[in-house]
Amino acid sequence: MSKPGQRVLAELRKLIASGELAAGERIVEIPTAERLQVSRMPVRIALRTLEQEGLLCKTGRGYRVRAVTREDIAGAVEVRGVLEGLAARQAAERGLSAEARATLEECLAEGDRLFANGQVLLEELERYQRMNMRFHRTIIEASGNPAIAVALARNDHLPFASVSALAVDRDNLEQEFRRFNFAHMQHHAVVDALVNGQGARAEAIMREHANATLRYADYFDPARKSVTVLHGDVAAD
């Protein structure tokens, strides 16, 4: 897919995940191209891709946003936990390279600095998201199993199923601090397991780590105006 096509695809996914394009809303090529200031071709390709991913359904000459249920999201998150757990186990059994270990330790140090003040701002969570993506990507690569990355890419099309999307309740940042700080403590635990070659422990922690995302299913409600969905580099996942 061309770069304009990738940009359009990422933007439409973001609009759907945030609820700005609501379930049942009709989407057609020309107005969408005008809205995103691109030609019709990348929009046409992006709409077909989103239909294949299950986010849109074809209706006559256009598309409609498919309703995504809490069960859809929960199922996709559970699958991510299984796949990332497998990646962690295989990485522990293979042994971390010096480069992978250094990257993971840099991620831990960055997270520690973010949470050191006992509170967190929305801008700081954007930094956390970038670090979190790097952390997860490093473990997947360290598994030495490219099939895991392929399977994750197929699973990541639903809102919040991918580690590249981070849902934040900006009206309750004190609660969000506790949630993300706990997730970061899980990062420390999984790195400890990886470094010590404890495959079963690393797998269990990563599966439990994914379960923290299940709260995102409650956030996928356009009526909740306080929820902000932060999006990372889609191509990275």
Q: What is the DSSP letter of 196?
A: T
User: Are the beta carbons of 139 and 104 closer than 8 angstroms?
Assistant: yes
Task: Kindly state whether residues 51 and 122 are assigned to the same domain.
Answer: no
The pLDDT score that the predictor gives to residue 160 is 64
Burial environment of residue 162 by CB neighbours within 10 A (0 to 12, 13 to 18, 19 or more): buried
Looking at the structure, tell me whether residues 25 and 114 fall in a common domain: no
Are both 34 and 97 inside the same structural domain? no
* Residues 180 and 210 occupy one common structural domain: yes
Judgement on whether residues 142 and 47 belong to the same structural domain of the protein:
no
Domain that holds residue 217: 70-236
pLDDT of residue 217: 52
pLDDT of residue 124: 86
Q: Which of 14, 42, 65 is the last residue of a domain?
A: 65
Give the integer Cα–Cα distance in Å for 221 and 207.
25
182 shares its domain with 209: yes
Residues 82 and 143 both lie in one domain: yes
Tell me the pLDDT of the chain (237 aa) as tens digits: 566 777 888 788 878 876 788 889 999 999 999 999 999 999 999 998 888 777 899 998 889 998 877 788 788 889 999 999 999 999 999 999 999 999 999 999 999 999 999 988 888 888 898 999 999 999 999 999 999 999 998 887 666 677 776 777 777 888 889 889 999 999 999 999 999 999 999 999 999 998 776 655 555 554 445 555 555 543 333
65, 94, 119 — which closes off a domain? 65
Domain total of the chain? 2
- Three-state DSSP at 68 gives coil
Q: Which two tokens stand for residue 96?
A: 């971390």
Q: What is the CATH number of the domain that holds 61?
A: 1.10.10.10
Residue 96 and residue 183 in one domain: yes
Indicate whether 125 and 194 sit together in one domain.
yes
Residues 147 and 206 in one domain: yes
Question: Which pTM value belongs to this model?
Answer: 0.75
Shared-domain flag, residues 37 and 99: no
Closest CA to 10 of 231, 195, 217, 219: 231
Quickly count: other Cβ atoms within 10 Å of residue 152's Cβ.
21
23, 38, 65: which is the final residue of a domain? 65
Residue 236: the pLDDT is: 32
Are residue 111 and residue 58 in the same domain, yes or no? no
